[in-house]
């Protein structure tokens, strides 16, 4: 037990990684044992993440030197050696969101993908995605951030193109991989620029040694652009609709948390690596601009879609805009302590809370879209209709997700959006008004989607449609319950998960001091 | 005066980026990404270079003035990642060719 808690950072990554490579071997022994091992690996990673989260809540930043005799030997001679994993409350916040969605996506896939071949590769790639997401949020090293980013991109691209009988899926995978490779290349170049000046790759040590020369600012531009591309902010959103639309439903839910890992990296670079730069509020303003563009363009592109999953993909772009808006407002007032305590803290709190809520309700929506595709065989809303007669549970879960994304009480979307509206209003009322208009358009788009798919006469339903099996209903029910609970008791989530994460973002000195 | 290696890196990245943006053949797009990856690898290796230094192998070294080994390990990692990316992109191109009959990225079925 002590072993599990002490080595939690490495075990949370290593066990899914090992299980990923065991998938083809276990697939020979049968589908049941392979599915069981995949579920067990992600559940074990979940336990490790929970232990680590409790450790970080109690003891502050946790550091782990990979490969040292004792994990605490981070700086034996005064400067960090080896690859150091540095986990603070923001890392555990993202890890809890990622691993819970990964677990539910694994359970959902076991039923939804039953009729397909090549499931060994499917589960192997899904476990690789989980390991890579956890690696990205736990690492304290800029180059290993690049490596885990690439692992995540390659595994996601393989899963996006999983339906290899269709050319459209391969097209989406190709586009995603080309765009992600360029982004990762920019991260690598930025790491090279920073290494060439300071001979350091550890993010905490770099933050302490940073002198903000021209090359450092150039590296910031490269890093910010690369991670804005990875999280799907407008105008770098061109891959989101294809990738989320063509992937299998559980993979789309995982891609949402994978994009949020890119968002985590953007925050890490902005707040921790460059937090004491004199002009850092310009990055905050850039994030606000990207956020507003994403919100508006995402929702307006979504309204005209007729494919359910492409519609949800554009809404994912739009909701990412809310997160960028909230945290951007916080970053742009970072130097001003009075403004931070007035509304900056609340803005970052709203943005981060929205990250977790978005993972939950977007996962729920993609699962329901997958259920509709499983039963009806089509994603085109023009061809569907009246499904609520035959699929009542799926219809209710879709309604939960749609009301949550539109920001209706008592669901979780309302809680985080209200915090964002109130805090952004004090920064600039226009931005808050735009955010509310986008919420209205989101509601309009989902009213159209819900009535197009589920409402309508019984005669409109295709033959052979019935409710999906319990293996797909259970993850949807769990997510729907969480969506409702987070909306009814937001203070609990804020106190235990979100506020420590916001304090971790604002407390750059704690992050640096743990290593240097 | 900027070292000629860095000028070469900048030219390679520029050429790769132009090919990525302006070429329509899928194989050429994959090649462009590999060229940009090679440029990044060249940049990383050249960062560790020291004048008149030997390879960083400690055993039986004639002198102790060595090039930096860390960028070399970064480059090895990057080469392997670039290999995986190019293999996957080319296999996607094969699937697209099998389904569409053409490698032109203009002839696509996914639209806005």
Q: Which domain holds residue A32?
A: 2-513
Q: What is the pLDDT of residue B105?
A: 85
Q: What is the mean pLDDT of residues A284-306?
A: 94
**Domain for residue B91, yes or no?**
yes
Q: What is the mean pLDDT of residues A176-196?
A: 96
Of A178, A196, A301, Cβ closest to residue B89: A178
- With a pLDDT cut of 70, the percent of chain B lying above it is 98
**Domain for residue B46, yes or no?**
yes
Mean pLDDT of chain A: 93
Length of chain B, please? 112
Choose among A150, A211, A154, A214: nearest CA to A184: A150
Q: What is the pLDDT of residue A75?
A: 84
Mean pLDDT of chain B: 92
Instruction: Give the 3-state secondary structure of residue A86.
Output: strand
Residue corresponding to tokens 């995603």? A176
Interface test with A, best of B21, B34, B85 (most A CBs within 10 A): B85
H and E: helices and strands count for chain B: 3, 0
What is the token pair recorded at A237? 């959103």
Question: pLDDT band at A495, cuts 50/70/90?
Answer: very high
pLDDT over threshold 90, residue A353? yes
Interface test with B, best of A149, A154, A170, A317 (most B CBs within 10 A): A170
- List, as ranges, residues 243-272 from A with C-beta within 8 Å of B: 245-246
Q: What is the mean pLDDT of residues B42-55?
A: 92
CATH of residue B42's domain is: 1.10.287.3510
Residues in chain A with CB shorter than 8 Å from the CB of B89 are 174, 177-178, 181
| Chain B interface includes A142 (CB < 8 A) | no
Q: Do B96 and A172 touch (CB under 8 A)?
A: no
Of B43, B70, B81, Cβ closest to residue A150: B81
Q: Which domain holds residue B38?
A: 4-51+66-100
Q: Is A464 left (phi over 0), alpha (psi -120 to 50) or beta?
A: left
- With a pLDDT cut of 90, the percent of chain A lying above it is 79
Min Cα–Cα distance to chain A from B78, Å: 8
**Domain for residue B59, yes or no?**
no
Residues in chain A with CB shorter than 8 Å from the CB of B71 are 192, 195
| Chain A interface includes B77 (CB < 8 A) | yes
Q: What is the mean pLDDT of residues A206-221?
A: 93
Listing DSSP states for A454-503 in one string gives T-S-GGGSPTT--PPPHHHHHHHHHHHHHHHHHHH-HHHHIIIIIHHHHH
Tell me which DSSP letter residue A213 carries.
Answer: -
Q: What is the pLDDT of residue A117?
A: 87
Q: What is the pLDDT of residue A428?
A: 92
Q: From residue A123, how far is each of A12, A130, A148, A480 by CA, in Å?
A: 17, 10, 18, 24
Rounded to the nearest 5 percent, the helix, strand and coil shares of chain B are 65, 5, 30
Q: What is the pLDDT of residue B112?
A: 64
pLDDT over threshold 80, residue A97? yes
Q: Could you give the CA distance from residue A44 to residue A118 in angstroms, rounded to a whole number?
A: 24
Instruction: Give the 3-state secondary structure of residue A388.
Output: helix
Q: What is the pLDDT of residue A270?
A: 93
Which residues make beta-bridge pairs with B66? Answer: B54
Q: What is the pLDDT of residue B17?
A: 95
CB A37 within 8 A of CB A105: no
Residues in chain B with CB shorter than 8 Å from the CB of A191 are 74
| Chain A interface includes B99 (CB < 8 A) | yes
Instruction: Kindly report, residue by residue over B65-107, the tens digit of the pLDDT.
Output: 999 999 999 999 999 999 999 999 999 999 999 998 889 888 8
Of A168, A177, A245, Cβ closest to residue B88: A177
pLDDT over threshold 80, residue A462? no
Q: How many CA atoms lie within 13 A of A149 on its CB side?
A: 31
| Chain B interface includes A186 (CB < 8 A) | no
Instruction: Kindly report, residue by residue over A436-454, the tens digit of the pLDDT.
Output: 999 999 999 999 999 999 9
**Domain for residue B22, yes or no?**
yes
User: Residue A201's closest chain B neighbor by CA?
Assistant: B70
Instruction: Kindly report, residue by residue over A368-413, the tens digit of the pLDDT.
Output: 999 999 998 888 888 888 888 889 999 999 999 999 999 998 999 9
Q: What is the mean pLDDT of residues A202-220?
A: 93
**Domain for residue B56, yes or no?**
no
Q: What is the pLDDT of residue A255?
A: 96
**Domain for residue B20, yes or no?**
yes
Residues in chain B with CB shorter than 8 Å from the CB of A192 are 40, 43-44, 47, 71, 74
Choose among B108, B46, B37: nearest CA to B77: B37
Q: Could you give the CA distance from residue A79 to residue A74 in angstroms, rounded to a whole number?
A: 8
**Domain for residue B90, yes or no?**
yes
ipTM score of complex: 0.96
Q: How many CA atoms lie within 13 A of A194 on its CB side?
A: 31
Instruction: Kindly report, residue by residue over A164-178, the tens digit of the pLDDT.
Output: 888 899 999 999 999
Q: What is the pLDDT of residue A279?
A: 86
- How many distinct structural domains can be found in chain B? 1
Of A166, A177, A195, Cβ closest to residue B89: A177
pLDDT over threshold 70, residue A319? yes
Question: pLDDT band at A67, cuts 50/70/90?
Answer: confident
Query: A92-108 b/e with 16+ CB inside 10 Å = b?
Result: bbbbbbbbbbbbbbbbb
Q: What is the pLDDT of residue B1?
A: 67
């Amino acid at each position: 037990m002590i072993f599990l808690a002490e080595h939690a950072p490495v075990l949370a990554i290593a066990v899914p990684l090992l299980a990923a490579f065991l998938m083809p071997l276990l697939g020979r022994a049968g589908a049941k044992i392979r599915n069981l091992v995949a579920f067990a690996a992600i559940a074990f990673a979940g336990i490790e993440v929970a232990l680590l989260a409790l450790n970080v809540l109690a003891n502050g930043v946790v550091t782990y030197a990979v490969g040292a005799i004792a994990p605490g030997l981070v700086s034996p001679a005064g400067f960090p050696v080896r690859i150091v994993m540095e986990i603070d409350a923001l890392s555990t916040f993202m890890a809890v969101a990622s691993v819970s969605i990964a677990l539910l996506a694994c359970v959902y896939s076991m039923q939804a993908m039953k009729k397909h071949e090549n499931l060994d590769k499917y589960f192997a790639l899904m476990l690789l995605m989980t390991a890579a997401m956890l690696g990205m949020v736990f690492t304290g090293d800029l180059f290993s951030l690049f490596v885990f980013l690439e692992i995540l991109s390659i595994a996601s691209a393989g899963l996006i193109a999983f339906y290899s009988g269709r050319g459209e899926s391969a097209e989406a995978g190709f586009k995603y991989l080309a765009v992600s490779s360029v982004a990762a290349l920019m991260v690598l170049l930025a790491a090279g620029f920073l290494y060439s000046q300071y001979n350091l790759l550890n993010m905490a040590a770099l933050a302490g040694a940073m002198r903000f020369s021209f090359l450092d600012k150039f590296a910031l531009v490269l890093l910010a652009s690369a991670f804005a591309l990875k999280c799907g902010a407008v105008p770098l959103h061109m891959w989101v609709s294809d990738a989320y639309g063509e992937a299998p439903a559980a993979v789309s839910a995982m891609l949402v948390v994978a994009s949020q890992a890119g968002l985590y990296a953007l925050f890490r670079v902005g707040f921790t690596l460059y937090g004491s730069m004199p002009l850092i509020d310009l990055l905050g303003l850039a994030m606000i601009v990207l956020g507003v563009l994403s919100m508006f363009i995402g929702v307006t592109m979504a309204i005209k879609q007729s494919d359910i999953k492409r519609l949800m993909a554009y809404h994912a772009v739009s909701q990412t805009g809310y997160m960028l808006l909230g945290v951007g407002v916080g970053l742009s007032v970072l130097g001003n302590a009075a403004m931070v305590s007035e509304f900056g803290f609340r803005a970052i709190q709203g943005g981060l809370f929205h990250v977790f809520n978005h993972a939950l309700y977007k996962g729920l929506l993609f699962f329901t879209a997958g259920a509709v595709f499983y039963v009806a065989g089509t994603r085109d809303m023009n061809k569907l209709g009246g499904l609520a007669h035959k699929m009542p549970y799926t219809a209710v879960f879709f309604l939960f997700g749609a009301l949550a994304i539109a920001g209706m009480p008592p669901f979780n979307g309302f809680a985080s959006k209200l915090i964002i509206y109130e805090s952004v209003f004090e920064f600039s009322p226009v931005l808050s008004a735009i955010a509310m208009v986008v919420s209205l358009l989101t509601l309009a788009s989902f009213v159209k989607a819900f009535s197009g798919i589920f409402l309508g006469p019984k005669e409109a339903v295709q033959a052979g449609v019935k409710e999906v099996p319990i293996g797909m209903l259970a993850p949807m029910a769990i997510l729907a319950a969480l969506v409702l609970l987070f909306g009814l008791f937001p203070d609990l989530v804020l106190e235990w998960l979100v506020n420590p994460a916001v304090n971790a973002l604002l407390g750059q000195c704690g992050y640096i001091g743990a290593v240097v | 005066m900027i070292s000629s290696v860095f000028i070469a890196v900048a030219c390679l990245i520029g050429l790769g980026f132009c090919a990525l943006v302006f070429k329509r053949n899928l194989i050429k797009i994959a090649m462009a990404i590999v060229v940009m990856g090679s440029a990044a690898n060249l940049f990383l290796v050249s960062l560790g270079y020291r004048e008149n230094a030997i390879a960083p192998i400690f055993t039986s070294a004639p002198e102790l003035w060595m090039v930096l080994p860390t960028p070399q390990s970064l480059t090895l990692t990057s080469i392997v990642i670039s290999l995986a990316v190019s293999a996957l992109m080319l296999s996607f191109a094969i699937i697209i060719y099998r389904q569409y009959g053409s490698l032109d990225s203009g002839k696509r079925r996914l639209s806005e």
